[in-house]
Structure 1
Amino acid sequence: MRNFQGLQVEGVVDSPSPMNAAIARMATILQMTCIALIVFGDKFCAALNRPTPLWYHDIQRSKMMYLGIVWLVGNFFVAQLTTTGAFEVAMGDELLWSKKDTGQLPESIDYLISQVSTRLYQ
């Protein structure tokens, strides 16, 4: 591996689109609401002077299973919305590699090193 003295390497997080970020926030709120209802649903019904629905008793019998399902499915959904898959290598203003454009990672780190070397030693 070569050492390029004086070369500044900077990592930047590529944010999801504003729409995906908003949907992810709403999904997280829905997930936490479902968890609260699974855990405290009977108390909510009592506070509202409503009878506890019959289906809620089924949920209470398998509370841990439903909590796990809500947690896993919610986190999977939010992760899919917020993952951009971005991997880009740029030198100055010149883009050397973009996973967004090509749809894949470079096959070898040697390719990227050769691209950087070529531009450094021109």
Structure 2
Amino acid sequence: MRWLIRLCILAILLVHSIDANSKELEEVPLSKFGAKTGPTLRFFYCYSCGYRKAFEQYVNILKQKYPELHIEGENFTPPGYKMLFAKILGTLKILVIVLIVSGVDFGLPLTSVWQWCISNRFYSSVLVFLLCNAIEGQLISSGAFEIHFNDVPVWSKLETGRIPQPLELFQIIDFHLGMQFSDMDVGKIKFHT
């Protein structure tokens, strides 16, 4: 029984250490030589909704029209409480699967559900895994397709309910480029429009 408790604690620590390491990797600053000098267009999309393909199509279109534009994209993280519930559910999923596979007897009368899980370890583990993944997917699915120009929000699918058409995005970019370079000599800047 002690090995099971140690295994569960190890699994929880592993999940949290992976999360902490991924946050540390995200916060690596650019050096002076690697700093970007041009305007940046940043997309935040819902990966679980399938918007990564739309992002990649926009990158191809925008790179042809605006080669100097830096384009970045990443998954839109949902509000904190949904992400917290998804992480807790993921940890509980692993814990329950470990308990099912190990066949732990808690010394209490077994319920019919737990007896079935112990009798059918493979099927119950797969069932727990799939159900928890479906719930986690619903929790982290935001439906977002947000666009920021130099950290200024310029489009939000969450507010408008739709993804912008390429011509709309071109107009937005042209407007913001015009605003950014209005006090400079526009003749010296070569943007392909």
- TM bin, normalised by shorter chain, reads 0.7 to 0.9
Equivalent residue in structure 2 for 1:53, among 95, 98, 110: 110
**Residue in structure 1 matching 2:168, options 73, 86, 111:** 111
Q: How does 1:87-102 map to 2 (within 5 A)?
A: 87-92=145-150, 94-102=152-160
Q: Secondary structure at the match of 2:71?
A: coil
Distance 1:39 1:53 in 2: 16
Deviation of residue 35 (structure 1)? 0.7
Quote how far apart the aligned CAs of 1:71 are.
0.5
Change (3 A) 1:85 1:118: same
- The residue aligned with 1:7 is 69
TM-score by length of 2: 0.50
Q: 1:112 to 1:40 in 2, by over 3 A?
A: same
CA distance in 2, matches of 1:112, 1:94: 14
Q: How many residues align?
A: 116
Alignment pair present for 1:73 and 2:135: no
How far is the alpha carbon of 1:79 from its aligned partner? 1.8
**Residue deviations 1:35-93 (CA, integer Å, cap 9, x gap):** 1121112xx32xx6x37726344223332221121101111111222233221123235
List gaps (5 residues or longer) in structure 1. none
Distance 1:31 1:73 in 2: 9
Return the letter of the residue paired with 1:112.
L
The answer for unaligned runs of 5 or more in structure 2 is 1-60, 180-193
Structure-1 residue corresponding to 2:97: 35
Per the normalisation by structure 1, the TM-score is: 0.73
Could you tell me which amino acid in structure 2 is paired with residue 31 of structure 1? K
Question: Identity, % of aligned pairs?
Answer: 25
How many Å separate the matches in 2 of 1:90 and 1:51? 56
Higher strand proportion, which one? 2
**RMSD of the TM alignment (CA)?**
2.6
